[in-house]
A and B are shown apart, each in its own frame.
Chain A
Amino acid sequence: MDLVATILVDGLIYAGWLFIVSVGLTLVFGVLNILNIAHGSLYAIGAYASASLVGLYFAAGGDAVPWGSYAALILAAVLVALVLGPLLERGLLRFFYGRDEVLNVLVTYAVFLILEDVMKLIWGVNPYFVYEPYTLLGDVEIGPLFYVGYDFAVIGAAIVVGLAVWLTLNRTKIGKIVLAVIHDSEMSETMGVNVPRIYLGAFMAGAFLAALGGALTAPMISVTPGLGVNVIIVAFAVVIIGGLGSVPGAAIGAVMVGISRAASVHLVPEAELFIIYFVMAIVLLFRPEGLFAKTQARKI
């Protein structure tokens, strides 16, 4: 019983993190039809930016109000989105809309390579640490185990992010417009929707979510070069399982991968590396386009 509870708690903590890092990827794919490999770089840049910003915050006397460091984390993600979002989308990606999806993957791969070195030029290779926010929330005791309160804050953040994205898409006017663009951008354009602006907005939202993932992760790791490579693979898997472009899909995918991985670590640790591919293979076997894929109409 206690083992089941542990697996669930561990699985959900991991799922929360997975969801935050993958929801932006699926959103960008849904709207722009671009599978963004540079999502991993944006994650890493978010981590670096938050490490720098939180560092600055404490250097400027933030010790008095340590809670402010959380604001600094989020602010870092906002900054990344504000700077890199327009730069990448307006400056580069918009020239590739309507081109082959796979070609666009290569374009973002090039961006990924470039950003890897740019990060090194800005932040060097030495690690950055920002543990303060990680320990602020104290411990939580569940059965025989201690958890860090921050872990649950990540689950909370994932739920907030998920709800915010879902409500924006389904309950606001702008969201309906975005859904229309996802459905048929040409049609929307003829109906007077400013499609380029929607694209820019969606990409910035995606960049923000990627950076937020990095920013929220930064306190529990050391921020070092090469951070983004591993994230991109798991985020891809989650998004493919859930169905490219589907927000609820990303949530279900994250929970499936999170719980299966936790079960594997506790029960069959040898299989950990495979579990994510295993879940992906099973899902694709029965639902080739992912669990919640948008259906693609055939022409006739």
Chain B
Amino acid sequence: MKSTRMGGALAALTVAAGLAGPAAAQDDTFKIGVITFLSGQAAESFGVPAWNGGKLLVEMLNEGGKMPAPYDTKGFGGLNIEVVVVDEAGGATKQVQEFRNLVQREEVDAVVGYVSSGDCLAIPPVADELKAFTILYDCGTPRVFEDGSFEYVFRTAAHATMDNVSLARYLKSRNFDVPSFAGLNQDYAWGQDSWADFTGSMAQLFPDAEVKTALFPKFGAGQYGTEISALLRERAAVVHSSNWGGDLQGFLIQATARGLHERSQLALAAGDHVIPQLQDKMPDGVILGARGVNGLAAKARGGELQELTDTLWDAYEAEYGVFPVQAPFRMWQALLGLKTAVEKAMADNGGTKPTDEQLAAAMKGLEWDAPSGHIEMALADGHQAIQPNAIGTTKWNAEEGRMELVDVEYFDARCVNPPEGMKAQEWLAQGFPGAKCD
């Protein structure tokens, strides 16, 4: 009988599923599930450098004493850190499934992950349902905590509004003349939102500037010839782009070959991460941000975080032969935040491995120092971080053969992030009420 045989197959699968799956973490280890892009377009620019940085930090923490205080204790509060890495490629559907697998099958103690904002929107309800402590370390969309509130979910990096507000503020504070501006952004939520944020900020700071064409080439298009023609014809004073990775590199190579950077001021919301690859092919005089005081801007900042920054910077450069850009910085700030939270929770519970509830309680409203500055979980009732930002201008140092950021402006976290309780779009529309810029 076919049904019974197929039924047998089903039963066998059921049992196999029941038996499979490794055991839970030991009491003396803290197991984290890390989700980041290991394949696809975001692997090169975000996923892989982020995890390269993360892996390095975890190794240094597990050895103990490698990091400056207050991060000189071993692991997380003495617990050894164990990591399971999952590829983020494959879409939100797959990520929800993998998230459940990490929590329920691998029984991780915390999840740190997600570059894609689609994933960041899909995961939080599941995390809350499973009561699983989760850190969103990279993604940009403000919608995560504006459209919902979650008990067990925290984002340790500022949302993307900051990037474009900072760009506009930079143009203003350095007295650029901006009679008009145009944009080229990838045709998906990130690009669309970034352009909306930028035009929103410009409307406040440069109310007379004319908005010229807004181009949205397909994600991963590769060919920008037609778009560049359109931008060249428009002769806008500023051309804004939030492109990243291969799309940004391709655009820059093709645009500079045709002199777009000589006709218009290029302003790149998240452009720092292509510097190590492009080197001198990145033209001088491009304004760019790093989604936080990350990469070159962090190195150039100095101050009391210098030692922390240098420790990780040097280790990264020694290990991978390239300097760290924004992605490892965001991974570091997530892991250092997690370390701080775990240790705070352990101080409160008498030194045992904290539960998800204890972790969430400890993380809420937490503040800590990271190479990218002082991070405060100030928004969304203590679940959403704000952090300072920096914008600079590229300048090739021919003598040393490396790209430098000059005319860097550092923006206080409260200058470029909305205050608690206000949605990013409203904040832009109302002219940045409550912004504290010094």
A joins B in a complex: yes
Q: Which residues of A approach B to under 8 Å, CB–CB?
A: 3, 6, 9-11, 13-14, 17, 116-117, 120, 125-127, 129, 131, 134-135, 139, 144-148, 151, 217, 220-227, 229-231, 261-262, 265-266, 269-270, 272-273
From residue B189, how far is it (CB to closest CB) to chain A in Å? 13
Residue pairs across A and B with Cβ atoms less than 8 A apart, 29 shown, are: A3-B233, A6-B233, A14-B225, A125-B39, A125-B43, A126-B44, A127-B44, A129-B277, A131-B257, A134-B253, A139-B259, A145-B229, A146-B232, A146-B258, A221-B254, A222-B253, A224-B44, A224-B246, A225-B44, A227-B222, A265-B215, A265-B226, A265-B230, A266-B229, A266-B230, A269-B215, A269-B216, A270-B216, A272-B217
Asked if B40 CB lies within 8 Å of chain A CBs, one says yes
How long is the Cα–Cα vector from A269 to B231 in the complex, in angstroms? 12
Q: Does B281 sit at the interface, judged by CB under 8 A? A: yes
Listed in ascending order, the chain B residues whose CB lies under 8 Å from chain A are 38-41, 43-44, 47-48, 187, 213-223, 225-227, 229-230, 232-233, 245-246, 249-250, 253-254, 257-259, 274, 277-278, 281
Residues A117 and B41 in contact in the complex (CB < 8 Å), given A144-B232, A220-B254, A266-B229: no
Given A135-B257, A226-B220, A272-B187: A145 and B226 interface contact (C-beta under 8 Å): no
Is B218's CB under 8 angstroms from A273's CB?
A: yes
User: CB-CB < 8 A to A117: which residues of B?
Assistant: 39
B-side contacts of A146, CB under 8 Å: 232, 258-259
Residues of A within 8 A of B43 (CB): 120, 125, 225-226
- The B interface, classified by DSSP as helix, strand, loop or mixed, is helix
Whether the Cβ atoms of B246 and A13 lie closer than 8 Å is no
Smallest CB separation, A295 vs chain B (Å): 34
Contact A220 B277, beta carbon cutoff 8 Å = no
Q: Which 3 residue pairs of A and B lie closest in terms of their CB atoms, listed nearest first?
A: A222-B249, A221-B250, A224-B246
CB distance from A77 to the nearest CB of B (A): 17
* Bound-state Cα–Cα, A125 to B225, Å: 25
Q: Are A127 and B249 closer than 8 Å at their CB atoms?
A: yes
Given contacts A131-B253, A146-B232, A270-B216, contact A222 B246 (CB under 8 A): yes
Judge whether A220 and B253 touch: CB under 8 Å.
yes
Q: How far is the CB of B146 from chain A (nearest CB, A)?
A: 25
Chain B residues positioned under 8 Å from A225 (CB to CB): 39-41, 43-44
Most B CB contacts (10 A, CB to CB) among A134, A229, A273 go to A273
Residues of A within 8 A of B44 (CB): 125-127, 224-225
Excluding A144-B232, A221-B249, A221-B253, 7 further A-B contacts by CB distance (< 8 Å) are: A10-B229, A125-B48, A147-B229, A148-B254, A217-B223, A224-B249, A266-B229
Q: Are A221 and B222 in contact (CB under 8 A)?
A: yes
Asked if residues B220 and A230 are in contact (CB atoms below 8 Å), the reply is yes
Cβ of B273 to closest chain A Cβ, rounded Å: 11
Residues of A within 8 Å of B216, CB to CB, are: 269-270, 272-273
Whether A224 touches B41, Cβ cut-off 8 Å, given contacts A14-B223, A139-B258, A148-B257, is: yes
Assembly CA distance A226 to B221 (angstroms): 11
Complex Cα gap A14–B39 (Å) = 28
Per a CB cutoff under 8 Å, which of B222, B233, B249 touches A230?
B222
- Please, which residues of chain B bring their CB within 8 A of the CB of A9? 229
Q: Max chain A CB contacts within 10 Å: which of B39, B40, B223, B250?
A: B223
Whole-angstrom CA separation of A148 from B259 in the bound complex: 10
Q: State the Cβ distance, A131 to closest chain B Cβ, in Å.
A: 6
Q: Which residues of B contact A14 (CB under 8 A)?
A: 223, 225-226
A223 surroundings in chain B (CB, below 8 A): 246
**Residues of the A chain whose Cβ atoms lie less than 8 Å from the Cβ of B278:** 129, 222
Q: Which residue on B lies nearest to A127, using beta carbons?
A: B277
CA distance A226 to B37 in the complex (A): 12
B268 CB to nearest chain A CB (Å) = 15
In angstroms, Cα B40 to Cα A151, docked, is 27
With A and B bound together, what is the CA distance between A125 and B232 in angstroms?
32
Q: Note all chain B residues with C-beta closer than 8 A to A265.
A: 215, 217, 226-227, 229-230
Q: Given that A17-B223, A125-B43, A134-B257 are known contacts, is A222 also in contact with B218, CB under 8 Å in the complex? A: no
Report the Cα distance A273→B229, complex, angstroms: 18
Cβ of A185 to closest chain B Cβ, rounded Å: 36
Whether B230 and A269, one on each chain, are in contact in the complex, defined by CB atoms closer than 8 angstroms, is: yes
Chain B residues whose CB sits within 8 angstroms of the CB of A17 once the complex forms: 223
A279 to chain B, nearest CB (A): 15
Bound-complex Cα distance A9 to B218 (A): 20
Pair B40/A226 contact, Cβ less than 8 Å: yes
Closest partner residue, chain A, to B227 (CB atom) = A265
Q: Are A269 and B213 in contact (CB under 8 A)?
A: yes
A117 vs B43: C-alpha distance in the bound complex, in angstroms?
12
Shortest Cβ distance from residue B224 to the other chain A in the assembled complex, whole angstroms: 9
Q: A residues within 8 A CB of B246?
A: 127, 221-224, 226-227
Residue of B nearest to A17 (CB): B223
Residues of A within 8 A of B249 (CB): 127, 129, 221-222, 224
- Once bound together, how far apart are the Cα atoms of A134 and B224, in whole Å? 14
Q: How far does the alpha carbon of A11 sit from the alpha carbon of B226 in the complex, in Å?
A: 7
Determine how close the nearest CB of chain B comes to the CB of A216; give it in whole angstroms: 11
Give the chain B neighbours of A231 by CB distance below 8 A: 222
Residues of B within 8 A of A10 (CB): 225-226, 229
Which residues of chain B come closer than 8 Å to A11, judged between CB atoms? 226
